[in-house]
Amino acid sequence: MILLTGGAGFIGANFVLDWLAHSDETVINLDKLTYAGNLENLASIADDPRHIFVQGDIGDTLLTSSLLARHQPRAVLNFAAESHVDRSIHGPEDFIQTNIVGTFHLLEAVRAYWGTLAAEARRDFRFLHVSTDEVYGSLRSDEPAFSETHAYEPNSPYSASKAASDHLVRAYHHTYGLPVLTTNCSNNYGPYHFPEKLIPLMIVNALAGRPLPVYGDGQQIRDWLYVTDHCSAIRRVLAAGRPGQTYNVGGWNEKPNLDIVHTVCGLLDELRPRADGKRYSEQITTVADRPGHDRRYAIDARKVEVELGWKPAETFATGIRKTVLWYLDNQQWVSNVQSGAYRDWVARNYGERVR
């Protein structure tokens, strides 16, 4: 079996669903259930014995050590993190605690467990750390995309905390020989994305008749990847990545924020036209820029393609249409998230299943 952290969040939950669709290997899912953790994301596998949910903190060494000893996983995949840049600007402390201190404690528990394994299991064990392209900082418009050897130049408390965790993971390989893998992925989008991030926020606000707040001039560029493509990349890196290596994962899909917002508006005009006949783009408003806002991210994903044969399956056109359709079809999920009712929903419908 595998032990995964942060599997009730956006990417982690997509990964658990994707994993169980491709494999019969059991997943132990350790998640603290912060505001971003939502067990409703996993409702479709509520009765699946291959999924064991445990509520807890990656920084709780007693808990992680006992889970590792009891379940003897062949791999640990670390998705758990505080992940929202704007929240890291308003309050960096949780980012330091979970992303740096929490990852350190998890590494310590994993190192101790790994040391108890027999030679073959030690050799085959993997610790896969899920990270971000934001650790590389911001690109000028004429610079080439981030390769794995690009210098780390994080600019926000979020990216600095992720960079620190990447360095710890690297050090545990070089110092202790722990067989680690790190993926640095670009911006994801897709189902179960918490509506504080750009794409789900725009869909949800548009449908509610609220303003669509674009930071600054809206010309900041991100390299968008549909979330199931990130999941397939992680599965591929876990299966065939070389221990100690990092792999950049991206969709070759750089777009300015304002273009993204217009694309979302255009899809909604087609799929759920406004009752007053007007265009959703009329709701776009410009707001003050994010402090320290990174101008451009772009991933050079050649290494993961050449070495491991991974390529994204979705284009932006197919992925964004699926995403908008998912939000239109899952309005109850949206309203539970917005009202906070997803937390009650967990207690009512899922509580007994939480082990």
- How far is 61 from 57, CA to CA, in rounded Å? 9
* Per-position x/- string for 183-212, each x denoting binding to ligand TYD as judged by CB under 6 A, each - no binding: ----x---------xx--x-----------
Catalytic residue among 133, 166, 254, 294: 133
| Residue 79 interacts with ligand NAD (CB under 6 A): yes or no | yes
| Residue 257 interacts with ligand TYD (CB under 6 A): yes or no | yes
Q: Which strand (E) or helix (H) includes residue 332?
A: helix 331-339
Lookup: tokens for 114: 């790994």
CA nearest to 255, candidates 319, 192, 206: 319
Q: Is 57 one of the annotated active-site residues of the chain?
A: no
Closest distance of CB 188 from ligand TYD, Å: 9
Strand ranges (E), the chain? 2-5, 27-31, 51-55, 75-78, 126-132, 180-185, 188-189, 212-215, 221-223, 225-226, 246-249, 254-256, 284-287
263-322: contacts with ligand TYD (CB under 6 A): 290
Catalytic residue among 18, 113, 136, 158: 158
Q: Is 158 exposed, middle or buried (0-12, 13-18, 19+ CB in 10 A)?
A: buried
What does the DSSP 8-state code read for residue 145? P
157-176: contacts with ligand NAD (CB under 6 A): 162
- How far is 154 from 96, CA to CA, in rounded Å? 14
Q: Is 295 exposed, middle or buried (0-12, 13-18, 19+ CB in 10 A)?
A: middle
* Per-position x/- string for 88-117, each x denoting binding to ligand NAD as judged by CB under 6 A, each - no binding: ----------x---x---------------
Pick what 57 binds: ligand TYD, ligand NAD, none; C-beta below 5 to 8 Å, kind-dependent: ligand NAD
Number of residues that bind ligand TYD (CB under 6 A): 12
Q: Would you call 226 helix, strand, or coil by DSSP? A: strand
Q: Is 352 one of the annotated active-site residues of the chain?
A: no
Catalytic residue among 31, 40, 82, 134: 134
Pick what 214 binds: ligand NAD, ligand TYD, none; C-beta below 5 to 8 Å, kind-dependent: ligand TYD
| Residue 92 interacts with ligand TYD (CB under 6 A): yes or no | no
- How far is 233 from 196, CA to CA, in rounded Å? 25
Closest distance of CB 250 from ligand NAD, Å: 10
Closest distance of CB 225 from ligand TYD, Å: 12
Pick what 102 binds: ligand TYD, ligand NAD, none; C-beta below 5 to 8 Å, kind-dependent: ligand NAD
Q: What are the residue ranges of helices labelled H in 81-225?
A: 85-90, 93-95, 103-116, 119-124, 157-176, 198-207
Q: Is 158 one of the annotated active-site residues of the chain?
A: yes
Cβ nearer to ligand NAD, comparing 132 with 323: 132
- How far is 319 from 191, CA to CA, in rounded Å? 10
- How far is 73 from 125, CA to CA, in rounded Å? 8
Closest distance of CB 352 from ligand NAD, Å: 20
Cβ nearer to ligand NAD, comparing 63 with 258: 63
Interacting residues toward ligand NAD by CB under 6 A: 5-6, 8-12, 30-34, 36-37, 57-59, 79-83, 98, 102, 130, 132, 162, 185, 187-188, 194
* Residues tagged active-site: 133-134, 158
